Amino acid sequence: MPQVDLTVRVGGDSAAGGIVTTGEIVARIAAFSGLEIYTTRTIPAEIKGGHVMFQLRTSDEPVYSQGDDVDMLIAFDQLSIDSYHKLIKPGGFLIYNSNDGAPPARADIKEYGLPLNDIAKKINFSRGRNIVTIGAMVKLFDLPYDKAEEVVKRQLGRKKELLDQNLLALRTGYEYVEQNITTESPYHLIPASGLVEQDRLVMNGNQALSMGAIAGGCRFYAGYPITPASDIMEFLAAEFPQINGTMIQAEDEIAAINMCLGGSFAGARSMTATSGPGVALMVEALGHATMTELPVVLVDVQRAGPSTGMPTKVSQGDLRLAIFGAADDAPRIVVAPVSVEDCFYQMVNAFNLAEKYQTPVIFLSDQDMSVRVVTLPPFDMNRVKLEPRLLWDPASITSDPANNSSNGAGGKTTGEREYLRYKLTDSGVSPMSLPGMPGGQYTAEGLEKEESGAPAYTAEIHTRNFKKRARKLANAINDYTAWEMFETFGDDSAELAIIGWGSTIGPVKEAVMRAQKEGMPVAVLYPKLLYPIPVEHLNSFIERRKKIIVPELNFTGQYGRMLQAQFEREMIPLTRYGGTPLAARDVYDKIKQVYETIRANE
């Protein structure tokens, strides 16, 4: 059992500032003190004003979800008290700004009213009330003060003129609790083994996938700002100059994806990142990439829709768009990581799949995973191996003085040895030339084509090329197996199974561990290659189960319906929508409900 397992929720108005900063700094203090962390947040879509919620779960053992119950609430205003006070579990406690709110009476929790506005004014730093709060929490939780100072310097040190004031606010909050609160906090955030000194990373999903893109060889990025994907562009804009990469902020999403196709045509591993509305605008260019057989990676950080929807809330509602959003059958590969750490490794896989099969790859992240801050071990660079693009060799064309025919590229060739960009192959992949290769000129346009690239409109050629493009995706299943693009856990002999995708895996892990302790075993499979469907692997898993639950963050249960159509088996949906993440309690309740059905029918 963990010695420490604490869930803290912070609430306040974004106009006052510092709500997310408060949560993130406390999270990083806990992380640098040797604890594991897991965060989630909701912020308003407006530029200024609106309610903000930040939640941190920290433990001395790995944590996989945001937690079901709130142990501690930090409320900066009355709205936060009114919204979350009832969620504090018995034995928990509340820290609230007594200048801006008052809680209703509850005998089963501890309450600490701190006059944050007054304390901040006394040090002539009214903006620093969130840092005062952090200092108070450091004292209440027995966190090491030196770690707190270190994190404040890292997070806020860029504004040198304010650093001394922030450090003073930190000290003031710490000393206020030390001098004025005599009751002991029920929580002490000290790992069971003391402070852990080891290599560890503290980052969010957008940062992890950006690092994965760099490790995967990406050197060209074009994008247009959109929540919640903009952090990716900002991260790469800072890092690319150091590795001779190029980042362009385009005028819109259509321009961005077409710039990426140009970068890929020239030989660079290229990507863009957006959200659902941006993907909708990029559909035509994605079809062009399929037709011209150009590698490109498109990251879709999903958010609640449709249309503009709720830009700062989570969803897994773009699955159908990612797989089937196209004019006619324009196959592409769809990859979905299951965690912040997995964002790194699956981005490497995404670039390898794009390059190996010369096709678009859509990478499905989501809002919650993109901003979630967690502790990670250093990435294992031994797992990073780059698949090369199949390039054409100009030496394969030989000049024939006796043959005056020209391939239109300035050189004389012998018929079968001319460069055929879309040459039919068993794998479906044709050697690709790059600009400047002698004799390698070809036309990359969206029309159906002959092997040379010349336009052609016969039924035979159209059918042949459809099959060629389909072969590439069929072969990608081999990499799904070889690269172990799936995760399994639980009891493989269980009659009840869960098949899911993406970020719902954390709550599922916690629910399954609880269910199995109570005699309800569950087998779990999370494919990371969503399309093409790894039919054989999924079928061997499905056929051994009586019931299958499919959890996902959308209204209609898109993945479950796709599996049900493919395997002609009932899939029990567990859908969560409304813009909030799945909770472990939701999954556990569904497992228990389905087990009751199974046993009633025995």
Look at residues 563, 577, 561 and name the one whose alpha carbon lies nearest to residue 367.
577
Task: Tell me the per-residue pLDDT of 33-77, one tens digit each, with 9 for 90 and over.
Answer: 888 999 999 888 776 678 899 999 999 889 999 998 899 999 999
* Cβ neighbours of 365 (radius 10 Å): 30
Q: How confident is the model at residue 413 (pLDDT cuts 50, 70, 90)?
A: very low
Residue 576: exposure state from Cβ atoms within 10 A (0-12, 13-18, ≥19): buried
What H or E segment, with its residue span, contains residue 354? Answer: helix 340-357
Alpha-carbon span 527 to 539, nearest angstrom: 12
Task: Tell me the per-residue pLDDT of 89-130, one tens digit each, with 9 for 90 and over.
Answer: 999 989 999 999 999 989 999 888 999 999 999 999 988 889
Structure tokens at 449: 């084509």
Residue 397 DSSP symbol: -
Q: Where in the chain do CATH 3.40.920.10 domains reside?
A: 5-198
Q: Which fold has domain 202-383?
A: Rossmann fold (3.40.50)
Q: How confident is the model at residue 192 (pLDDT cuts 50, 70, 90)?
A: low
Kindly list the distances between the CA atom of residue 525 and the CA atoms of 65, 508, 529, 549, in Å, as whole numbers in the listed order.
18, 11, 12, 11
Residue 17 pLDDT: 66
Q: Where in the chain do CATH 3.40.50.920 domains reside?
A: 486-600
The answer to whether the CB of 507 falls within 8 A of the CB of 65 is yes
Residue 256 pLDDT: 98
Q: How confident is the model at residue 191 (pLDDT cuts 50, 70, 90)?
A: low
Alpha-carbon span 293 to 271, nearest angstrom: 15
Q: Which CATH superfamily does the domain covering 5-198 fall into?
A: Pyruvate-ferredoxin oxidoreductase, PFOR, domain III (3.40.920.10)
Q: How confident is the model at residue 564 (pLDDT cuts 50, 70, 90)?
A: very high
Residue 134 pLDDT: 92
Alpha-carbon span 591 to 43, nearest angstrom: 31
160-180 vs 145-156: helix axis angle to the nearest 10?
150
Alpha-carbon span 319 to 552, nearest angstrom: 10
Q: How confident is the model at residue 140 (pLDDT cuts 50, 70, 90)?
A: confident
**pLDDT-above-70 percentage for the chain:** 94
Check: CATH 3.40.50.920 for 486-600? yes
Q: Where in the chain do CATH 3.40.50.970 domains reside?
A: 202-383
Kindly list the distances between the CA atom of residue 201 and the CA atoms of 131, 538, 587, in Å, as whole numbers in the listed order.
23, 33, 29
Q: How confident is the model at residue 2 (pLDDT cuts 50, 70, 90)?
A: low
Q: How far is CA 352 from the centre of its chain?
A: 18
90 upstream amide cis, omega within 30 of 0: no
Residue 40 pLDDT: 92
Residue 235 pLDDT: 98
Phi, psi at 141, each rounded to 5°: -95, 0
What H or E segment, with its residue span, contains residue 25? Answer: helix 19-32
Q: How far is CA 404 from the centre of its chain?
A: 56
Task: Mean pLDDT check: name the lowest of 84-93, 457-466, 527-536.
Answer: 84-93
